[in-house]
Amino acid sequence: MKQAKWFIHPVFIFSLSTVALAISLFLYIYWYVGVSENLKSVVRRYQLDGNQFFEAQTWVVILILSLLVAAIMLGILIIFIYNLKTLQLYRLQHTFINNFTHELKTPVTSLKIYLETFAKYQLPREEQLKYIGFMLQDTERLSGNINSILNLARIESRLHEGESTPVDLSETIRQFVTQNRHLFHDCDIVVAPPVAGPLICPLIVPLFEMLLMNILTNAMKYNASGKPRIDITFEQDRQSLHIRFRDNGIGIPKEERKRIFNKFYQGRHDERVPVGGSGIGLYLVQQIARLHHGKVVADSEGDGKGSVFTLTLPAMAARGQISNLSPEVL
């Protein structure tokens, strides 16, 4: 985990501020003692009422002491919150590294076993094809994990390729699902036509396709039904487009609906789902949405009742005729 530079670290800033306030208080008290002695001699000489002078200066001292104590308490609170968040991020990173290392080692170990089997034994053609299929699955799994890390690095460093161009949102989604049908062959993905004409939205298409891939694969992964289904619907108002991805998966607990978009966050293990998440996918979804000046929120009616991910993006003026098309299963 990258450490903060020492001169911008909250502990250093707090210590410096406390020392500065303490020095200021010391100098003021030193000045106050000297001035008080002079004032006392003036008051005695001219027989003046010095209560007003001394009461005012006493309150000034009390005020400065109060500010010093408040600054110290505030500094302690800031340091506590900073260290707490740092500790939470460290734990998430530690968990992610352990899980991700396992995700990398497992397919590599499987590939090694399969290759050793090929080297030692003369297998029938059918057995060879079966093992080759297993090897392709492990290769895809390994490639997906590596791509997740690379995509995370590109998004956070703003090194993504492509420029924002106006596109038909529903048509872009439909084409993406059709082109990647081989990845979703076990899932029914229903894309409903927008009620009002084409929905034009400025998108960085490669990033938007990455967002779609993560949302759809997440819906398939966390699904314990015999036949996963994802319904994609559209709504539009004056300023925004809303795309809803509704699935029939295991649902999301209420306490996790916001945290699932945090980097490295992994939800509680569910026995109904054999494969855990990496803690990157939905974080990438939210970051890509923000790059498009949008956001993603998650909702769920409860355990086993599926989830709804709503993507909100800025709209462009593009309202056509009312569509008479029916939902299309891709």
What DSSP letter does each residue of 133-177 carry, written as one string? HHHHHHHHHHHHHHHHHHHHHHHHHT------EEEEHHHHHHHHH
Identify the burial level of 93 via C-beta atoms within 10 angstroms of its C-beta, where 0-12 means exposed, 13-18 middle and 19 or more buried.
middle
Statement to judge: residues 189 and 309 lie in one domain: yes
Query: Per the domain annotation, does 269 fall within a domain?
Result: yes
Domain count, the chain: 3
The Cβ of residue 289 has, within 10 Å, a number of other Cβ atoms equal to 20
At 323 the pLDDT is: 41
Query: Per the domain annotation, does 205 fall within a domain?
Result: yes
Q: What is the CATH number of the domain that holds 310?
A: 3.30.565.10
Which residues have C-beta within 8 Å of that of residue 184, sequence separation ≥ 6? 177, 216, 220, 330
Statement to judge: residues 67 and 137 lie in one domain: no
At 321 the pLDDT is: 37
Contact 35, 104 (CB under 8 A): no
Question: Which pTM value belongs to this model?
Answer: 0.60
At 8 the pLDDT is: 53
Statement to judge: residues 324 and 192 lie in one domain: yes
At 265 the pLDDT is: 75
Can you tell me the distance from the alpha carbon of 212 to that of 151, in angstroms, rounded to the nearest whole number?
14
At 83 the pLDDT is: 75
Can you tell me the distance from the alpha carbon of 270 to that of 253, in angstroms, rounded to the nearest whole number?
11
Range of the domain at 16: 6-89
Phi and psi, residue 117, nearest 5°: -65, -45
Residues of the chain with pLDDT under 70: 1-14, 17-18, 21, 25, 28-40, 42-62, 64, 89, 92-104, 141, 144-145, 148-149, 151-154, 156-162, 267-278, 316-330
Statement to judge: residues 151 and 27 lie in one domain: no
At 22 the pLDDT is: 72
- What one-letter code names the amino acid at 80? F
